[in-house]
Each structure stands twice: as C-alpha cells, then as structure tokens.
Amino acid sequence: MCLGIPGKVVEIRDDGPMRMATVDYGGARKEACLAYVPEVGLGDYVIVHVGFAISQLDEEEALRTLELLRMMDEEGLAMELGDAPAAVTPSAGAA
C-alpha cells in the first residue's frame, strides 16, 4: 500500500466533482484521482497510491540530485578508490 510508483499523466477528465486522469506506468495504464494535486497537467509525473496521486515529481530536483550523484568522483566528495573494505559485494545496489 505504500508502494507508489511514478507514472505519467496522459489524459485528464472531470468525473463529477472529481478531476480524474489516466496515468501511464511504462505501458500499463490506470485511472487516478487528481483531487490532491490540482496543479498537475498533461505530461507531468505523479506518484499514485491506491488510485490517488499524492505528489507531483519535481523534474528539476530529480535532475539536480542525479547530477550530484554522478559528479561524486569529480567533486572529490566521495571517492578514495581502493579504500573500501573487501566485504563489499559487487552485486550490491545493482538493479
């Protein structure tokens, strides 16, 4: 029930007092209620829980975070390669 996944709003319509959307999750499409994210428009990404969008994803923040993570080497934030203990398994974190 806490397993919300991001999807793209591909259609919006009014169902009585309720603003409803069709949300595309990489090919699978489901209906979601937009009552709690009134600012969301077509093409926006939302996180949906039990048929309700609860949050709009912030593309700028998302890109900024990824950029920071990718720059970890260059920034010298993190890396002292060879320093990591042998217990680290190569499969960890791979998806």
Partner 1 sequence: MKYIDEYRDSAIARKLLDEIHRITTRPWALMEVCGGQTHTLVKQGIDEALPAGVRMIHGPGCPVCVTPLEQIDKALAIAARPDVIFTSYGDMLRVPGSTTDLLALKARGADVRIVYSPLDAVRIAAANPERQVVFFAIGFETTAPANAMAVSQAARLGLDNFTVLVSHVLVPPAMCAILDSPSNQVQAFLAAGHVCAVMGWTEYEPISARYHVPIVVTGFEPLDLLEGILMAIRQLESGRAEVENQYVRAVRREGNRAAQDAVFRVFEIGDRKWRGIGMIPSSGYHLRPEFARFDAEARFDVGTIHTAEHPACIAGEILQGTKTPLDCAAYGTLCSPQKPLGAPMVSAEGVCSAYHAAGRGLAAPYTLPLYELTRSDR
Residues that bind partner 1 (CB under 8 A): 1-6, 8, 17-18, 25-26, 30-31, 33, 35-38, 45, 47, 49-52, 54-55, 57-59, 61-62, 64-66, 69-70, 72-73, 77-81, 83-85, 87-89, 91-95
* Amino acid code (one letter) for 18: M
Residue 65 main-chain phi, psi, to 5 deg: -60, -45
Q: How far is the CB of 9 from partner 1 (least distance, A)?
A: 12
Q: How far is the CB of 44 from partner 1 (least distance, A)?
A: 11
CA neighbor of 20 nearest in space, from 58, 46, 59, 1: 46
Q: By C-beta, is 13 or 30 nearer to partner 1?
A: 30
Q: How far is the CB of 14 from partner 1 (least distance, A)?
A: 14
Spatial CB neighbours of 26, under 8 Å, sequence gap ≥ 6:
7
CA distance 7 to 66: 19
